[in-house]
Structure 1
Amino acid sequence: MTQQTKSLHRPSQRSNKAIMKKLLGHDIAVSAFLDRFNSGRFPHAWLFEGPVGVGKAHAARMLASVVLGGDYQLGEGSLTVNDEDEIAHKIATGAHPDFRQVQRVPDNNGKIPQSISVDVIRDMNGFFELRAAQGGYRVAIVDSVDELNANSANALLKTLEEPPEKCLLMFIHHGSASLLPTIRSRCVKLNFSRLKDADLRACLGDDDINEELLILCEGSPGRLREMAALDGGVEMLRDLKAAMVDWPGISAHRMPSVMAKISKTELHLELASSFLAKKFSDMAQSESSGRARSLYASYWSRLYNVRTKARRLNLDLAEQSSQLLGLVRDLSNEMRATA
């Protein structure tokens, strides 16, 4: 799709100096949605599919603002919504009477459940049975349908199969769990891809982003924000690289310091895991030996399994970091043995 500017502007309801919120890198999906909305032949159910953190939920909230009458512009490959527009502000704060954000809610003990409960979906169905407070659409975002259980997924079908007039459902789907065919078949699908480096930089408003973080975030602006804000994250990566600079040899005296930095927080551990997974993958591709490539592939898989098992067993960060660096030492030994 060409980057042609479209004049789709509604006057702001507030100050002309309002800060504008932008959605970058998803112009094809957004244009498809708005074209149908402005055509008058507007489907009631949409499925926003793509990797975690690329901006699906952000896009859904911005488009909800548009549907409910908010101030917006579409042009130069980006959707812009007025951050001080009254409608957008109410959606952002959960105060709009014709909007619902449907997601997991804490129980009486403050614990977040593993799935969206059937009661939450029934509450959403009840919301759609009411008359719109402002006479237009009623809009709900389900974030995410990956987190529905069997009962809540089936309850969702009630509104999906028999939608009232001017009902809009937007489903966020990360792809981590399968979706009922009966849900998928009733939705218009929009694909949200990983963002390019230029759009990632623009999302953060910073051209001086560490190149390694741009690679490791895998096109996710949400993940890049987390990585860029991580205290000591770039320093940790630098030390981890230094410890492996003579690969397959590793620097034994650097490892205690590296482990202390990796085990600082869950995000430090996640960043180190991403770095090592990328390192194993890159080294496998550069190897001419089939035996070496198989070893790297095996350890890449073991790295993933260690993280999955650690989360399931709720291991502390020091134990997880020890297991992570243990894999690096074991792979180093095996690679030197095959040299």
Structure 2
Amino acid sequence: MNADTGVLDGAIPPSQNTRLFGHEQACAFLADAYRSDHLHHAILLEGPEGIGKATLAYRFAYHLLMHEDPKTAPAALADPDLASPVIRQVAGGASHNLLHLARPLDTKTGRVKSAITVDEVRRAGHFLSQTSGSGNWRIVIVDPADDMNRSAANAILKILEEPPKKSLFLVLSHAPGKLLPTIRSRCMPLRLTPLNDQQMREGLAHLELSDHQEPQIVDAVIRHSEGSLSNAILLLRYGGLEIAEAFEQILKDGPERSQKKIHTLADSMTARDRETAYAFFTAYAANRLVSLAREAAADGDLHTAQHWASASSGLQENLAIADGYNLDRKQTILSVFSSVFRMPAA
């Protein structure tokens, strides 16, 4: 992962991505809302991580900046032309009309901070208070809003309550339930869904990630990625596929037969350069337990569904404690499986 941008190796930064897979209805809705001059000042783009929310946000921002007058704007969002001066300025971080708020770089450690801070939101306030040199839109992309700490969330809420004229907030959220209800109430929600298998194949080809891969590997990546291209990158480039398959095998074998495999998996993620793989494992495990609970409920097996839901809650609690106290990774992974095996394996 690029330490300065937080972009995964193999991914294209959303500001420079010329392709968007899926989300045709969302694109059409946004284009129509702008053209009809009924655009809300804050739009909440919500959905799982890695499905194209940021790419859509930049695509829509480019649409506004390239077509200042809604009445003459095209009826559809176009693929961005990277040769355009407007898009080059945004992609280079030199635009006076678009500000991207994300977790900032800690100059002391050289790593991205764990949260979007209030100082970042104050930058947005200063940015919006300035007069646009072109008289064009002022656009703020919050990516993702889930990363804001409490002070930052309260600060951005004040701006959303009294937004400047001709300003637009594109608020991204992987888990909108984590947002302050008052922030949600001031945004127009636009739900994006995971990519289907065909869209995943097209996305992998666009990123050149499926080149020279065996068909069964590509199939496994799509199966485990849950419609997320960022998950696919983690599976292919960060050892995620081996992690996912090891986790599934441990679930299948049960606790008594899996002790050695659990410790081997935990040991593999203790190295300093395995932060991204560790983050993938914790997210994958949490999502997998939720999926198991839903599958059991859909089958009418409410007892098993309750067990998996309880395991998911326990896992989330353990992860929150580990993150808050910066606990040892191996011990955290062992606690994950402690939560998992409080009930029968699937």
What TM-score range do you get, normalising by the shorter chain? 0.7 to 0.9
Letter in 2 for 1:219: G
Map of 2:64 onto structure 1: 67
Preserved contact between residue 121 and residue 152 of structure 1 (Cα < 8 Å): yes
TM-score under structure 2 normalisation?
0.71
CA spacing shift, 1:102–1:275, aligned 2, 3 Å: closer
Would you say 1:313 and 2:325 are equivalent positions? yes
Would you say 1:21 and 2:33 are equivalent positions? no
CA spacing shift, 1:242–1:74, aligned 2, 3 Å: farther
Preserved contact between residue 153 and residue 180 of structure 1 (Cα < 8 Å): no
State the alpha-carbon separation in 1 of the partners of residues 120 and 79 from structure 2.
Answer: 31
State the alpha-carbon separation in 1 of the partners of residues 134 and 269 from structure 2.
Answer: 51
Letter in 2 for 1:87: V
Letter in 2 for 1:45: A
Letter in 2 for 1:168: L
Residues 245-260 of structure 1: pairs in structure 2 closer than 5 A: 246-247=253-254, 250=257, 254=261, 256-260=263-267
Shift of 1:217: 3.0
Larger CA deviation: 276-285 vs 261-270:
276-285
Preserved contact between residue 106 and residue 113 of structure 1 (Cα < 8 Å): yes
Map of 1:172 onto structure 2: 172
The structure with the largest helix share of the pair is 2
- Count of aligned pairs between the two proteins: 310
Map of 1:39 onto structure 2: 36
Letter in 1 for 2:169: L
Shift of 1:325: 4.7
What is the aligned counterpart of 1:278 among 283, 288, 295?
288
CA spacing shift, 1:170–1:25, aligned 2, 3 Å: same
Shift of 1:21: 0.8
Map of 1:8 onto structure 2: none
Larger CA deviation: 216-225 vs 277-286:
277-286
State the alpha-carbon separation in 1 of the partners of residues 141 and 204 from structure 2.
Answer: 25
Preserved contact between residue 262 and residue 272 of structure 1 (Cα < 8 Å): no
CA spacing shift, 1:229–1:125, aligned 2, 3 Å: same
Letter in 2 for 1:268: A
Unaligned runs of 5+ in 2: 1-15, 68-72
Alignment RMSD = 3.9
Map of 1:268 onto structure 2: 277
Considering only CA atoms, is the larger Rg found in Structure 1 or Structure 2? 1
State the alpha-carbon separation in 1 of the partners of residues 261 and 113 from structure 2.
Answer: 40
Letter in 2 for 1:48: L
State the alpha-carbon separation in 1 of the partners of residues 286 and 38 from structure 2.
Answer: 49
TM-score under structure 1 normalisation?
0.72
The structure with the largest strand share of the pair is 1
Shift of 1:266: 3.6
Shift of 1:253: 5.7
Shift of 1:96: 1.3
Shift of 1:238: 4.2
Preserved contact between residue 128 and residue 164 of structure 1 (Cα < 8 Å): yes
Query: What secondary structure, in the 3-state scheme, does the structure 2 residue paired with 1:171 have?
Result: strand
Map of 2:129 onto structure 1: 129
CA spacing shift, 1:312–1:217, aligned 2, 3 Å: farther
What is the aligned counterpart of 2:242 among 231, 235, 243?
235
Residues 77-88 of structure 1: pairs in structure 2 closer than 5 A: 80-88=79-87
State the alpha-carbon separation in 2 of the partners of residues 93 and 294 from structure 1.
Answer: 49
Shift of 1:193: 1.9
Larger CA deviation: 194-203 vs 143-152:
143-152
Preserved contact between residue 266 and residue 317 of structure 1 (Cα < 8 Å): no
Letter in 2 for 1:22: R
Query: What secondary structure, in the 3-state scheme, does the structure 2 residue paired with 1:90 have?
Result: helix
CA spacing shift, 1:326–1:57, aligned 2, 3 Å: same
What is the aligned counterpart of 1:49 among 46, 51, 55?
46
State the alpha-carbon separation in 1 of the partners of residues 140 and 23 from structure 2.
Answer: 21
Larger CA deviation: 201-210 vs 127-136:
201-210
Preserved contact between residue 277 and residue 303 of structure 1 (Cα < 8 Å): no
Preserved contact between residue 73 and residue 81 of structure 1 (Cα < 8 Å): no
What is the aligned counterpart of 2:222 among 214, 219, 242?
214
CA spacing shift, 1:74–1:325, aligned 2, 3 Å: farther
CA spacing shift, 1:258–1:169, aligned 2, 3 Å: closer
Deviations 1:154-195 (A, max 9, x none): 5435543444443222222331423343x4444333222222
